[in-house]
Structure 1
Amino acid sequence: MASPDKVAAVADLAQSLREADGVVLTEYRGLTVKQLQDLRRSLGGSASYAVAKNTLTKIAAKDAGIELDESLLIGPTAIAFINGDVVEAAKGLRDFAKANDPLVIKGGFLDGKQLSADDITKLADLESREVLLAKLAGAMKGSLQNAVSLFNAPLAQTARLVGALEAKRAEEGPADDTTASAPADAAPEAEATADAEPADAGTTEG
């Protein structure tokens, strides 16, 4: 029988998974406690970052009704729970990984769709939610009702709308090769090996 502490940890993880707008799983092996603190600060208010045991994460994902590829649970895992601008969080993780090799982005999910590490990088290449919505609102020629509905739309839907808008513009003139879009249904990819966790990195016991 699982201990009360483990039951509580799984319940907390499951709740975080259900409530998050998106989730990114990473391998943090080799990062110092200070680097972990810097990473949390770099995510700002868009995401929280916590170390979690793979066994507990697997159970919590099942309890939350999330189909999580077990390849994402190889090696020491820390999870970014995104509860804000998904693009901002993806940028923070990508930029930190570029500057700190030990951080490996494994994959995750957004809007019910699984994401590979490459998908998350592509998300980071998008403009922020505010910029995307401003462009869309302008394209609607001042239609207040449409603009308000777009501000309430999920980011994944907004990104698809922007992609459609850019495609329309491409038909009417030269294509803009700088616009990036993020597929939301690619298969997750990443391999990692297990290692010890920092002593005070906020680990959920398993």
Structure 2
Amino acid sequence: MPTREKELIVEELTDKFSETKAAVLTDYCGLDVAQVTELRNQLREAGVDYKVVKNTLALLAAKNADFEEIEEYLTGPTAIAFSDEDPVAPAKVLVEFAKEHEELEIKGGLVEGDLIDLEQVKSLADIPPREVLIAQLLAKMKAPVNGLVNALNDPLQSLAYTLKAIKEDKEE
């Protein structure tokens, strides 16, 4: 018979899995308390929630949220980084942290309900921040307008130069 505390944990994790845009599963074994605290602080700054979970409870929650395929990553000590807003944030922070701390092992994750492996998590971490992507999109949208303005402006500018040249010829 499950205890009430375990039921609450499964309910909380089910909600997290249902609402998350991205979740990255890690094996934190080998990190000391200071390193885990540093990791949690970095994740918190990025708006990411980091939970150490029991695999059986996480699997129950994942099944409740229709993510049964996550079972392959639920082995050994497991902690999950959940992001409700930015699907890139947990991958970015964890991949950067894992570069400096080899003890942290990234297992895989979920993005918008799709299971991803370690290589896809690394690829996700390479995506530029949202603000940079928006700036790049706006620059691409602005380029055709600038081209049109220049194309319309060229004949007028050429006419002005021609009239100026004629005026200078007549003054001589």
TM-score, normalised via structure 1 length: 0.65
Work out whether residues 20 and 82 of structure 2, in 8 Å CA contact, stay in contact via their aligned partners in 1.
Answer: yes
Q: CA deviation at 1:110?
A: 0.4
Amino acid at match of 1:20: T
Give the Cα separation in 1 of the matches to 2:117 and 2:125.
13
Q: Give distance in 2, aligned partners of 1:99 and 1:127.
A: 20
More helix by share: 2
Report the alpha carbon displacement of residue 69 of structure 1 after superposing the two structures with TM.
3.0
Give a deviation string over 1:68-91, Cα, whole Å, max 9, x none.
Answer: 332201100000001233323312
CA shift, 1:58, in A, is 0.2
Give the structure 2 partner of residue 97 of structure 1. Answer: 98
Listed as ranges, the gaps of 5+ residues in structure 1 are: 143-206
For 1:98 and 1:45, locate their aligned partners in 2 and report how far apart those are by CA, in whole Å: 18
Secondary structure of residue in 1 paired with 2:88: helix
Opposite residue 10 of structure 2, the aligned amino acid is V
The residue type equivalent to 1:129 in the other structure is R
Structure 1 residues 141 and 67: CA distance shift in structure 2, 3 A:
farther
Q: Tell me the equivalent position of 1:39.
A: 39
Shift of 1:34: 1.6
The sequence identity of aligned pairs, in percent, is: 43
Instruction: Give 2:71's aligned residue.
Output: 70
1:9 aligns with 2:9: yes
State the distance in 2 between where 1:31 and 1:2 align: 31
Deviation at 1:114, TM superposition (A): 1.0
Which residue in the other structure is 2:134 paired with?
133
Question: Whole-Å Cα distance in 1 between the matches of residues 89 and 13 of structure 2?
Answer: 22
Number of aligned residue pairs: give it.
143
Q: TM-score, normalised by structure 2?
A: 0.77
Conserved? CA contact 2:39–2:97, under 8 Å: yes
Structure 1 residues 9 and 88: CA distance shift in structure 2, 3 A: closer
Q: Specify the structure having the higher radius of gyration (Cα).
A: 2
Separation in 2, partners of 1:4, 1:88 = 32
In structure 2, runs of 5+ residues without a counterpart are: 144-172
Which residue identity lines up with residue 76 of structure 2 in the other structure?
G
Q: Deviations over 1:123-181 (max 9, x none)?
A: 11111111112211222239xxxxxxxxxxxxxxxxxxxxxxxxxxxxxxxxxxxxxxx
Given that 2:20 and 2:112 are in contact with CA atoms closer than 8 Å, whether structure 1 keeps it comes out as: no
